[in-house]
A and B are shown apart, each in its own frame.
Chain A
């Protein structure tokens, strides 16, 4: 279980995160709904180790990870851009983590082919990223992350750059992956529907403060939340 306690971060004199605490169990997806600039990306970068917090701790299954280097945390961060390595094929991108761990060639090839099949990309393994569509690139990015068997997956609006149809398809694909691989995940988005579709637990972030909800009802009925505003919009639509 991922445990974050009292994380705080200030840029200059501007506080970005104020005492953020949360928990996320294996197999759970904590959907964090928040507008742009509310501190979501900073929180994910701190958890992944790409940024240092001013205060607070990060632990997984009781082990303090606060001072563990990025490469040893086992926490993978996926951003809006798939960030595939441009000089590697789709298969080489997917197998990157395993190759860095010096796994045997046979093991890497077997796992990569299995992953390509699971992603529905068995015919695209030899293609370079620029020859793939936006949805295919995100699938490769997911496959690359999952093959290193991460403790936690951090998703920073991963479908934000996709068109509506592909985005919906990728949300369903994500649900399929969570069921298959059972990883713990923090899914950050500003899209209400996406938060509801992908999350098993829910939180709202505003001006660097995180509010956790007990269940779906509490999240949906939050008077200050975007879900209530969205429902009101549809009710009042004539």
Chain B
């Protein structure tokens, strides 16, 4: 059984991932478009700051989304009762695919969107132009807000689930018996334990936000763009000469993500005493 699952993992995951990796590397050397192979497309990535800016912007966006979603969900979990059934409507955001969330975000945050119309009805603005730019804006507010709406409810449900576990309740009771006030119990026991237990999930979401395509494509900034839409544009665009650069970007992006995941998981294992 173990051998079968091992073979399935290798055939289903490792082989396709490695093949894609090798194919990206081959494409990025210009093998299919030039007379001779070259590393010029990799050096171009460093020389042309567009990729580095996109990468920095995407990391910043993912960090902002995960950090703000985590702390908002933690605050709500603190305010809610310790023992609480998870209401079924809390699960609604999980049924929304990113492309729907992107359109929803557009209809909510754009100049002709719902928020703008409410502001107009309240007499706060006279034309859609007066509404602050939240879509395709340079700061990525619409992108951030849409990701936040997807992540935060998930984190909240997970924190409530963890908080309902008997072990955490026993730890909180122990802390109280040792003289900690409710506030101290939250700050010293509940919050760190929730963060400690949910670190793997937060990392997975961080990588998920780094790799999203639809939301930054529809709502993102037009000057500095998220890295995945930039890569897809390069590879799928009409300019055939841009394809190797796209693959070089994809390869560099994959290596960076793998390095980040390796460093974070090593740090996490050390924290968990493994």
B88 within 8 Å of A (CB atoms): no
**How many Å from the CB of A237 to the closest CB on chain B?**
40
Q: Which residue of A lies closest to B184 (CB)?
A: A100
A168 within 8 Å of B (CB atoms): no
Q: In the complex, what distance in Å separates the CA atom of A81 from the CA atom of B174?
A: 11
Q: In the complex, what distance in Å separates the CA atom of A61 from the CA atom of B170?
A: 28
Q: Please give, as numbers and ranges, the residues of chain A lying within 8 Å of B271 by CB-CB distance.
A: 87
**Are B177 and A48 in contact, CB atoms less than 8 angstroms apart?**
yes
A197 within 8 Å of B (CB atoms): no
A40-99 interface (Cβ within 8 A of B): 48-50, 69-77, 79, 81, 83, 85-87, 96-97
Identify B170's interface contact among A73, A81, A101, CB under 8 A: A81
B133 within 8 Å of A (CB atoms): no
A145 within 8 Å of B (CB atoms): yes
A130 within 8 Å of B (CB atoms): yes
Interface hub of A49, A70, A76, A148 (most chain B Cβ within 10 A): A70
Identify B189's interface contact among A50, A74, A85, A145, CB under 8 A: A85
B14 within 8 Å of A (CB atoms): no
Identify B180's interface contact among A71, A79, A86, CB under 8 A: A71
The proximity string for A residues 195-233 relative to B, scoring 1 for CB distances below 8 Å and 0 otherwise, is 000000000000000000000000000000000000000
Q: Summarize B's interface: helix, strand, loop or mixed.
A: helix
**Are A101 and B175 in contact, CB atoms less than 8 angstroms apart?**
no
B8 within 8 Å of A (CB atoms): no
Q: Please give, as numbers and ranges, the residues of chain B lying within 8 Å of A75 by CB-CB distance.
A: 177
**Are A87 and B177 in contact, CB atoms less than 8 angstroms apart?**
no
**How many Å from the CB of A151 to the closest CB on chain B?**
12
Q: Please give, as numbers and ranges, the residues of chain B lying within 8 Å of A79 by CB-CB distance.
A: 170
Q: In the complex, what distance in Å separates the CA atom of A87 from the CA atom of B80?
A: 23
A20 within 8 Å of B (CB atoms): no
Q: Which residue of B lies closest to A132 (CB)?
A: B273
**Are A100 and B188 in contact, CB atoms less than 8 angstroms apart?**
yes
Identify B272's interface contact among A76, A83, A96, A130, CB under 8 A: A130
B44 within 8 Å of A (CB atoms): no
Known contacts A83-B170, A87-B193; decide if A100 and B273 are in contact (CB<8 Å). no
B196 within 8 Å of A (CB atoms): yes
**How many Å from the CB of B202 to the closest CB on chain A?**
15
Interface size on A, residues (CB 8 A): 30
The proximity string for B residues 71-104 relative to A, scoring 1 for CB distances below 8 Å and 0 otherwise, is 0000000000000000000000000000000000
Q: Please give, as numbers and ranges, the residues of chain A lying within 8 Å of B123 by CB-CB distance.
A: none
Known contacts A100-B184, A100-B188, A130-B272; decide if A86 and B178 are in contact (CB<8 Å). no
**How many Å from the CB of B272 to the closest CB on chain A?**
7
**Are A70 and B171 in contact, CB atoms less than 8 angstroms apart?**
no
B233 within 8 Å of A (CB atoms): no
Q: In the complex, what distance in Å separates the CA atom of A24 from the CA atom of B188?
A: 33
Q: Please give, as numbers and ranges, the residues of chain B lying within 8 Å of A101 by CB-CB distance.
A: 179
Q: Please give, as numbers and ranges, the residues of chain A lying within 8 Å of B43 by CB-CB distance.
A: none
Q: Please give, as numbers and ranges, the residues of chain A lying within 8 Å of B171 by CB-CB distance.
A: 83, 85
**How many Å from the CB of A231 to the closest CB on chain B?**
36
Identify B175's interface contact among A48, A69, A85, CB under 8 A: A85
Identify B178's interface contact among A49, A128, A148, CB under 8 A: A148
A144 within 8 Å of B (CB atoms): yes
**Are B188 and A96 in contact, CB atoms less than 8 angstroms apart?**
yes
Q: Which residue of B lies closest to A81 (CB)?
A: B170
**How many Å from the CB of A130 to the closest CB on chain B?**
4
B254 within 8 Å of A (CB atoms): no
Q: In the complex, what distance in Å separates the CA atom of A69 from the CA atom of B170?
A: 16
Identify B196's interface contact among A74, A81, A86, CB under 8 A: A86
B239-274 interface (Cβ within 8 A of A): 271-273
Identify A71's interface contact among B179, B272, B273, CB under 8 A: B179
A8-28 interface (Cβ within 8 A of B): none
Q: Please give, as numbers and ranges, the residues of chain B lying within 8 Å of A148 by CB-CB distance.
A: 178-179
Q: Which residue of A lies closest to B272 (CB)?
A: A130
**Are A144 and B196 in contact, CB atoms less than 8 angstroms apart?**
no
A118 within 8 Å of B (CB atoms): no
**How many Å from the CB of B112 to the closest CB on chain A?**
48
Interface set of A (CB-CB < 8 Å, partner B):
48-50, 69-77, 79, 81, 83, 85-87, 96-97, 100-101, 127-131, 144-145, 148
19 pairs from A and B in contact (CB 8 Å cutoff): A48-B177, A50-B176, A71-B176, A74-B179, A75-B177, A77-B173, A79-B170, A85-B171, A85-B174, A85-B175, A85-B188, A87-B193, A96-B178, A96-B188, A100-B181, A100-B184, A101-B179, A128-B273, A148-B178
